[in-house]
Structure 1
Amino acid sequence: MAARDTGTMEQNVDIQKHLSVGKNPRGIPTATFIEDVGAFLQTLGGVPVETAIGAFNELYGKCKTLENSLGRVKLSMKAKIPEIEKTLELVHVLEGKQAEGEALTTHYNLADTIYAKAEVACHGRVCLWLGANVMLEYSYEEAKGVLETSLRNAKEKLKTTNEDLEHLKNQTTTIEVNMARLFNYDVKRRKALRQEEGAADKTGGGKGRGNGNPK
């Protein structure tokens, strides 16, 4: 029993190697496109079509899971970038007010839909939220550096995420085409096999009647 299980695992690993032809810069596989279904099945060791379809279906599921995950990352970055830009703009305003020796007049959010007028002294220091429970104080210059770095990183993350989503879209399309080609190949193979069996039955029946003794 153990020997058969080990063999099955090795076969699955071997099949997985033939499902992709490289990876993109973030390690997402590039799916193999099946040109010749018969030849492809031979490279897998002559496995049944159902096994090949199952392997591609598993890869398809992984791609869709990753696509959903990256979709959430994209939404997060699209919300984060404007927030960083607004914060950076505010630091520039504070810096300008400090240079002019003025305070910043603004409206402070006390609660939902409730605001109060406030004056903010521009003394050259500002606090930034770096996480859910982390706030650090910086000089204006330091704050600009932190925000500019965060903005660059967020834009780069959005760019690579869009590239990965486009790559995944292409791979899922390729996998869908591969599974359709495998299925159609199997349908044609079974049809041809039935036709051969039918022809053999007719030939066998004809010979049987011909060998009978005439009365």
Structure 2
Amino acid sequence: MSEEEVADVKLATVLTGETNPRGIPFVVFIENVENFLRADEKLTVESLIGALNELHQKLKHLEGNKMRTKVSMKAKIPEITRTLELVKFLRKNEDVTTHYSLSEMLYAKARVSADGSVYLWLGANVMVEYPYDEAVDILELSLNNAKERLRVCDEDLDHLRDQIITVEVNMARVFNYNVKRRRK
């Protein structure tokens, strides 16, 4: 058996085999460390601690990625909402006088004529012109998608926190078992 296969076997022993809808695994809660170690003759305290430590690192990394996604979505939702409100406002009004920012402390007055279309940033330095109705549809879809991603992200973060806590409790239980075993 290769070193990689042994590592997979070790990691697989602390996972239930089930995942949440996005593939984040559930962690086994180790009630009795001694019985857990007896269930697999290849498993030692050191290898179990190694597997739990590796899983802990992976879950923490995934948690960091989900947190960055959450921060990104929390920033995008108000931006999309403001853009949607502006397009709806332009759709109702023909001419608008407004102040806009030229730089951080410099504003200018402008007269905006509603011509029936707006330009939206799609990302990657791409801007596309859309008629008002189509722009509203696209922005509403983007807003709904961003809210759904935020909801899913929150759900995944809750799941990850539960799994991280389970891993940390398992690690503490295995360490305590090892200390008691060595004292005997």
Category of TM-score, reference length = shorter chain: over 0.9
Does the CA-based 8 Å contact 1:14-1:44 persist in structure 2? no
Larger Rg: 1
> Unaligned regions of 5+ residues in structure 1, if any?
1-5, 193-215
Taking structure 2 as the reference length, the TM-score comes to: 0.95
Matching residue of 1:185: 177
Does the CA-based 8 Å contact 1:15-1:44 persist in structure 2? no
The structural deviation recorded for 1:36 is 1.5
Q: Structure 2 counterpart of 1:10, which letter?
A: E
* Counterparts of 1:152 and 1:122, CA distance in 2: 26
* Counterparts of 2:40 and 2:114, CA distance in 1: 70
CA distances 1:9-50 after superposition (whole Å, capped 9, x unpaired): 322222222211111111011111001111211233242201
Q: Structure 1 counterpart of 2:177, which letter?
A: Y
Report sequence identity in percent.
53
* Counterparts of 2:118 and 2:40, CA distance in 1: 62
* Counterparts of 1:10 and 1:94, CA distance in 2: 61
The structural deviation recorded for 1:53 is 0.5
> Unaligned regions of 5+ residues in structure 2, if any?
none
* Structure with more contact order per residue of length (Cα contacts < 8 Å, sep ≥ 6): 2
The structural deviation recorded for 1:120 is 0.7
> Which residues in structure 2 correspond to 1:189-208 (within 5 Å)?
189-192=181-184
Matching residue of 2:85: 89
Matching residue of 1:129: 121
SS of 2:101's equivalent in the other structure is strand
Q: CA RMSD in A?
A: 1.2
Does the CA-based 8 Å contact 1:49-1:182 persist in structure 2? yes
CA distances 1:158-190 after superposition (whole Å, capped 9, x unpaired): 000011111111111100100111111111111
Matching residue of 1:116: 108
* Counterparts of 1:28 and 1:7, CA distance in 2: 26
Matching residue of 2:156: 164
Does the CA-based 8 Å contact 1:31-1:175 persist in structure 2? yes
Taking structure 1 as the reference length, the TM-score comes to: 0.82
CA distances 1:77-117 after superposition (whole Å, capped 9, x unpaired): 000000000000001100110xxxx3011112212211111
Does the CA-based 8 Å contact 2:10-2:43 persist in structure 1? no
* Counterparts of 2:4 and 2:41, CA distance in 1: 14
SS of 1:111's equivalent in the other structure is coil
* Counterparts of 1:45 and 1:27, CA distance in 2: 29
- 1:28 counterpart (24, 48, 57): 24
